[in-house]
Every structure is written in structure tokens, then in C-alpha cells.
Structure 1
Amino acid sequence: LITISKLINNFSIKRCIIIIAICIPFISLTATSGSRGALVSMFFGLFVLLLFRKTGVITKWAIIAFAALVSGMLITYLLQTNPIMAERFLNTVETGDTGRNLLWDAAFSIIKDNIFIGSGFEGVKPRMFAYSGFYMKPHNIFLYIFIACGLPGIILFLIFLTRLAKLLFRYFKKSGDSLNLVLFVIVVFNMSKQGGSIGKILFWFFFAVLIGSTVHIMSRNELKK
């Protein structure tokens, strides 16, 4: 997505050929991993990148339509050549099973019974085991925080994400560069399918970079706060 962003901002045939050559191995690697989430987040990020590109409305939607056509052809090819990925997508389409339904149902039941006071981070897995029979996290950062911290915790986390999203949008309006906004969307999307992501340094590294990218557009009063 970073390389595609550079191509969009400064298009040339030579740059296009180089970037396509760089992207193909990464797409193949993502497909061979068998991860539906990784593949979906990649194309979802591309859609957001094109959606926030500063151009005319007709041109923008023409580019999105072309990208959707190419993405559809690529996904069809990947499903035809990767039986594991094809089976997982088919199972999702036919049954609606994302592979996390049982965990999420249990998480919602836990939240319903303990909506205000959480069980603490150490209490998430025991609660999940009691409700689902699986000693594991709910594979969704929002459900994970709600179970651990209750209603106050999830509200504070959503406030943090909302404030960061507003700053990134202000940065986009000022600079016209939507890459940071796209990275934010992808990070949140991937955190939404990983329960323990709040404890992973990689995600907070991305948040730190994104916050740092917005500092120069903040007023002095905002910086003091």
C-alpha cells in the first residue's frame, strides 16, 4: 500500500512497472498464508487509499471501478490456484462462519453478564473457557477490552481511536496524503480480529508513528493537553 500510494501521488510508467514487480511477491505471500483477514485487509486498504485520493469525483470512481475489476480478477485467480484459501472463503460465504463465531458469541454473553465491571486482563481466558469451552482470547480487540475493562475501558479506548482518526483526517485535509489514514484503518481492522493485539508492540509502534505524523498540525493548546 505504501508503494501504491507513491505511484498514485506521482504516476509514471517506469514507476508503475517497478511497483508492480515489488507488489506481486507480497500478494503471493499473503495468498499462500491462507489468511482471509490478511487478503481482505490488503484490498480494503487499497479501496480506502483510492477513496481518499484527491481528484475529481468521476475520475475517482472510475479508478475505484477499475481497481475493483482488477482486484476481482486477481482474487478469482488466487482462489483457483489456492485450494485452501478457496475452501475458507467458500465456508465463510455458505455458512457465515468467520472462524471466530463461537468465540464472539461467548464474548457477547460475558459482556452481557458483566457489562460495567470487567474481569481484568488475567480473567479473560478463564471467562472465555467458562462460556465457550475454549481457553483462549476472543480474537477481537474491542470484545477483549470490553471483557477485561468493562464499559469504562471500552469507552476510553474508543475515545483514543476517535481522537487519532480526527487528527489523521486533519493531516489528510492539510497535506492531501491519505497513507497514514489508510494505515490507521488497516491497523484497527487487524486488531479487530486479534484479541491479544493490545499487548503487541507492533500495533503500538504503528500508533506511535501515526500520532507523531500529526504533531505538526496540532495547535499549541492541543500539544499542552
Structure 2
Amino acid sequence: LKELTNPINPLRLLMHIDVQTKYQNAFLRELIEMACEDIKIDDEEILQDLFYKPDSQSFTCFVLFHSSFRTVHIRQYIIDRLLAQSISWEDIGMRWDELLAWRNYTNQQRVVANKVWALIREVSSKQFEIDKLINTENDKMQEKLKIIEIIPSCLDIYCSNAPDKQDYKDLLQNIANSFTEKIVRTVAIPNEIDQFVPIAKRLHPYSKSTVWHLFRQQPLTCK
């Protein structure tokens, strides 16, 4: 029944008749509701079809936007689950893979996603704005990723012989690994790394300077 692109799907046939009768047949609406009662849908499918890989041809998308489903219970269930997810994202934060999914949409997927979350914003009492949330979460992630990027080069260039250099690199690797396992907000920067950040930010621009590297290779002489 979920395969609404299948021309012999009974639910699709009911939808077709519903369109022809301009959605005025109450009995048809009851039949559509009864058909949907046998359909099971979970959070994973909802998020896969409407967030991770938004698909206008998915069952969940049809249910949200086709007029034949505007009064069926399964439509409200999908909306309720998306509302619950939006509240969770606002309260707890988002994962790296969720931010990456949003950033990597195709143009077609972006259109579908914008339509979905515009609907959720309309029905949300908090006027949920996913763009604003994702930008905020992404800024937090980029700030932490920047630390992972700039400190290793500083360790290699300026602390190449330090006995604990590998210990710091291990801490940085642990931070990187945390992004695949945790909510971005909960990825912690250890104090041992945090204390290097101001210095690393000052030195990092020179790490790609050929002139600076040549200068450092020159023997120092005292007169």
C-alpha cells in the first residue's frame, strides 16, 4: 500500500477517484482512512524520507501533501513525530551526520525538505525554523573542527620533538571520533587542548607560508 507510484495499488486507485470527485466523497475518505490503518510507519522511515534523503515520491511525502490524506490519522502521526524531532533538536542539539545530510542535499531534495519543514513551522507553536537551528549547530561544529585542523600542524612544526606530542594528537583524534558518535553540543574539548587554541590560532596562518618555513630553516647566529 505504501507504493503509491504503483498504478495497481488499491490506495492509489482510491486517491485517483478522490481527485476525480474533487475530494467531496466522504465514503471514499473513510476507505482511505481504513486502508491507512493497516500501514505501519516508524521514526526511521519518516526521517529517512523527509530529512536524510527527502523524496517527493515517498509514501510519507504523499501523506503530508496530497489532499486525499489531509484528514487521515497517519498524516497527523507523521507531523507529530517531526514536531517531536524538532523539539529534540532544539533542546539537545543535532548530530554531525544530520548536519551533513542537510548540507549535501541535491536541489530537488532541498525543495522537498524546505516544503516539509515549512509545514512543520506552520503547525509548531514555537515557529520552528530549521535553517536557523542548523546554522547555529553548524557554527558550533565548525568551531570545534577548526581546533582539530590547526593544532596538529602547530605540533608538527613547533613541537616536533616534544615527548608528549603524540598524546595531544591522540586527544585530537578522540575529539574527531566523537563527532560520529555524539551530539555536536556534547563534544568536549579537553583542557589540555583548549589551552593551546589561542597560540595555535596565532601561529596557524604561518604554517602555510613558504617564506616562514625557509626562515625557520636558516641557522641562527648570534653576534
- Provide the TM-score with structure 2 as the length reference: 0.32
Q: Which has the higher helix share?
A: 1
